[in-house]
Amino acid sequence: MKLVFMGTPQFAVPTLEALVASQHEIVLVVTNPDRPAGRGRKLRPPPVRLAAEKAGLPLLQPDSIDAAGMADALIEADADAFVVVAFSILPEDVLAIPRLGSINLHPSLLPAYRGAAPIVWALFAGEQQTGLTTFLLNERIDGGDILLQEAVDIEHEETAGELEQRLSHLGADVVVRTCDGLATDQLRPAAQPRRSPSRAPKLSKADGRLDWSQATQVLRNRVRGANPIPGAYTEWDGKTLKVHRATTGIGRGVAGEILDIKDGITVATGDGALCLTEVQPEGRPRMPADDFVRGYQMKKGLRLGDTPSP
């Protein structure tokens, strides 16, 4: 089967590589333009561009999928299907081009967690299981007919970044099997279940803020889900303190109060305590919480959060 592949970030790379190694033919790769990044703001190519060049594949980097000439280029590619992984929303005229439709890989069990950040919101919610769905794109965001689904258990201490990496590799296999099924006419699309979908909207920095009045498990899930983006954080001494990892602590106190500074920083929550094990002060690299305690004026009784310490 002839395919056009569309994707940009690292999450899409394992799928592209798996398709290159499969029986299917990638006739064109479409990815976003190079963007400025880093302190020097030098142009940095997206991961999919690097993978496509390594594989010697034809490549386009339009400013947008609506750019002049893009529809003509996609028609000229004469692909049976488009495979879309972490890319822009496709307009209706583009969706109408391939005879078998446009296949999208989504890291949830649709209709659960429709939207831009399904992995993060699943962890925020404390889910113990998520999954992967391939489906046919239509005009409804993440609402098209399902092709394949595969459930995936979430590990107890897994962060969003770790889960995303694991799902990217598992998802590559699901996409290849989806293309195999469509190529042999052995896979039939099915409408999504009628139950109400849950949402996974785009993230903002505020989604990483820790509210110490919440329950310990809610805060622990917030830390896991916000790692690495948007990053969990709290306020300390008028500055931002990022929290990269945390576990359940022992003790009770006023929400945000530091209860202990041995073997981490134990902070009172709404129903118990959370132990911060890896943190990052402003302008410094991430570090074990014990190192932070030794290097800064951290002591029991101080308060984290937007409430000033006594």
Q: Which CATH class is domain 205-295?
A: alpha beta
For residues 31 and 5, the answer to whether their CB atoms sit within 8 Å is no
Which residues lie below 8 Å from residue 157, measured CB to CB, with a gap of 6+? Answer: 224, 247
Q: What is the mean pLDDT of the chain?
A: 96
Beta-bridge partner residues of 199? 114
Residues of the chain with CATH 3.10.25.10: 205-295
**pLDDT by residue (tens digit) across 94-149?**
999 999 999 999 999 999 999 999 999 999 999 999 999 999 999 999 999 999 99
Residues of the chain with CATH 3.40.50.170: 2-183
Mind giving me the DSSP string for 238-273? TEEEEEEEEEE-----STTBEEE-SSSEEEE-SSSE
Q: Is residue 86's pLDDT more than 50? A: yes
**pLDDT by residue (tens digit) across 174-229?**
999 999 999 999 999 999 998 889 999 999 999 999 999 999 999 999 999 999 99
**pLDDT by residue (tens digit) across 169-184?**
999 999 999 999 999 9
CATH assignment, 2-183: 3.40.50.170
